[in-house]
Structures are given as C-alpha cells and as structure tokens.
Amino acid sequence: MKIFTEGDYEHMSMMAANVVAPYICSGMTIGLATGSTPIGLYGELVKKCRANKIDFSRIKTINLDEYVGLDKDSKQSYRYFMDSFLFDLVNIDKRNTFIPNGNGDLDKECKRYDELIERYPIDLQILGIGHNGHIGFNEPSDSFSKNTHVVELTKSTMDANSRFFTGEKMPEKAITMGIAQIFSAKSIILLVNGESKADIIREALLGPITPRVPASILQLHEDLTVIGDMAALKYV
Ligand code: F6R
C-alpha cells in the first residue's frame, strides 16, 4: 500500500490527477466514483485536458453505482453528476462511459453490468469511502459481496447523502458493483479528505479485515494507493 498525505484538498486532488493521467493517456479502462471527494480530481483532469496534456478519446469508464428509481434526467443521478463534472468537459466518447441504470428490470441490469465488467476489466479503480466504511454502495454486512447487486442504503449513508437531495425524496436503494469486482481492478486509488473521515480510514487501513468495514478488504490489494489530506490521514 502506498500512502500520499497532502496538505489540503486542492493538493490531494492535484496529486490524484497526476497519478490518474497516465492511465488516461494510455487508453485504459477506469472505474469511477461519484460523491464530493473526487470532484477536485475531476476538475484537475479537465484542466489537463484543456491544456492538451491528456486525451480521453480512447478510454472507457465504468462507474461504481447509481441510485434506484431516479428519473433519467434527475440532477441527483450519478449520470448527471458525471456529465457535469467530467464527461461534458473533456473529449471523451460518451458511448464508452458506463453507469448502472437504476430504472427498469434491476436483475437484468445487474447481469448486464457484470458482463460489462468481464468484457472490459478495470485497469484503475478510483474510490471514495463512506463514513461507515462503504465503498461503492457496499454497506457494512456479514459477508463481502461479489457481483453487481441492489442494496438498501443504511441510515449513515442516507444521512450523509441527503444533503444532495433538496426538494426531492432521496432513494433508499442503489445498484452497485460488488466488492469482488472492485477488488479485481488491477490498481486502486482510494481518495479521502476531511477530519470526519479520519476514524473510518484508520479502521479501514489498520483495523481487522471484515465485511463490517467493507473498505478494509483493500488492505489485501496488491496495488492500492491512498491519497488524502492531512486531516483525514492523521492517524495512518
Ligand atoms: C459514490 C461512491 C461512494 C462514495 C462515498 C463517499 O460513487 O462510490 O462510496 O465514494 O459515499 O462519498 P463522499 O465523497 O461524498 O464523502
């Protein structure tokens, strides 16, 4: 495991962009996360693209998760998030960007996503971490999940993410890649910032490996890079 502790969110995002850029230039398949943590990274990648330093035209992206039941054009959907923070701002071919569809036949969608990940193995997976240790929307549980599946969101996740839902009811379910699929990525970058994540990141990186803290499985990954700010990484 490599750990980069940067002074603040801005420097952490710049460092993350420098690590991700070569994967983009070489046309790899990249697993993407949403949430507030990677927004700075996406901003830095947009800057590099606009300066003609990186070219998104050959990459494929596979997002971790999506809410169940949101309208396709909902501003809270992860498709909308990805379009506004990255895809609409760089020269990516949107036909090569994949996000689970949280509407319609969910069993079929889980199967379609599993096949997609098998067809395009993930070279680099970008992750954030929830306050309860979730990665993707894999909530604390009795066992590590394998494939794409539908989850009931926990109270901790509902509380953390309800800030994004003003005037719209937050979905209580999501569709997410499984832990084994995340783990199968050749390389993983875990991003974390802010004091409020300091305890959970210590538990995830230094505590026992348990499905009660889903991110703890990452301790076993052979190419894990953690990039965070000093506030989040003060105990590790
Ligand atoms: C979102 C995702 C989640 C977030 C996590 C942290 O695609 O996979 O696991 O990474 O909930 O969210 P933020 O970054 O908002 O603290």
The mean pLDDT of 44-53, rounded to a whole number, is: 98
Ligand 1 within 6 A of CB of 62:
no
- CA 234 – CA 47 distance, rounded (Å): 29
Catalytic annotation present for 18 = no
pLDDT of residue 46: 98
Q: Is the pLDDT of residue 140 over 90?
A: yes
Split at pLDDT 50, 70, 90, the class of 73 is confident
167 HSE (CA, 13 A, CB side):
2
Task: Please indicate whether residue 133, judged by its CB atom, sits closer than 6 Å to ligand 1.
Answer: no
Amino acid symbol at 81: F
In short, whether 154's Cβ falls inside 6 Å of ligand 1 is no
Atom 3 (ligand 1) nearest CA: 136
Distance from the Cα of residue 199 to its chain's centroid:
20
Average pLDDT, the chain: 96
| Global pTM value | 0.97
Active site residue 221: no
In this predicted structure, the answer to whether residue 63 has a pLDDT above a threshold of 80 is yes
**pLDDT for 72 beyond 80:** no
Q: Which of 63, 134, 161, 193 is catalytic?
A: 134
Span from the CA of 92 to the centroid of ligand 1 (angstroms): 23
The Cα 162–Cα 215 span in angstroms is 22
CB of 79 closer than 6 angstroms to any ligand 1 atom? no
Residue 65 known to be catalytic? yes
- Please tell me the distance between residue 135's alpha carbon and the centre of ligand 1 in angstroms: 7
Q: Which contiguous run of DSSP H or E holds residue 225?
A: strand 224-229
Q: Has residue 36 got a pLDDT over 80?
A: yes
Q: Which tokens hold the place of 133? A: 């240790």
pLDDT at 45 over 90: yes
Measured in angstroms, how far is the CA atom of residue 120 from the centroid of ligand 1?
23
Active site (annotated) includes residue 134: yes
229 lines ligand 1 (CB under 6 A): no
Which residues neighbour 134 within 8 Å (Cβ) at sequence distance 6 or greater?
140, 154, 157, 214, 215
Average pLDDT over every residue of 48-73: 95
The 10s digit of each residue's pLDDT in 158-208 is 988 888 888 788 999 999 999 999 999 999 999 999 999 999 999 999 999
- Average pLDDT, integer, range 7-27: 98
pLDDT, residue 71, reads: 81
Query: Over the stretch 210-236, which tens digit does the pLDDT of each residue have?
Result: 999 999 999 999 999 999 999 999 999
Q: Among 65, 66, 109, 203, which one carries the catalytic annotation?
A: 65
Which pLDDT band, with edges at 50, 70 and 90, does 98 fall under? very high
Mean pLDDT to the nearest integer, 69-76: 87
Confidence of residue 89 (pLDDT cuts 50, 70, 90): very high
Q: Residue 130 Cα, ligand 1 centroid: separation in angstroms?
A: 6
Ligand 1, atom nearest to 35 Cα = 15
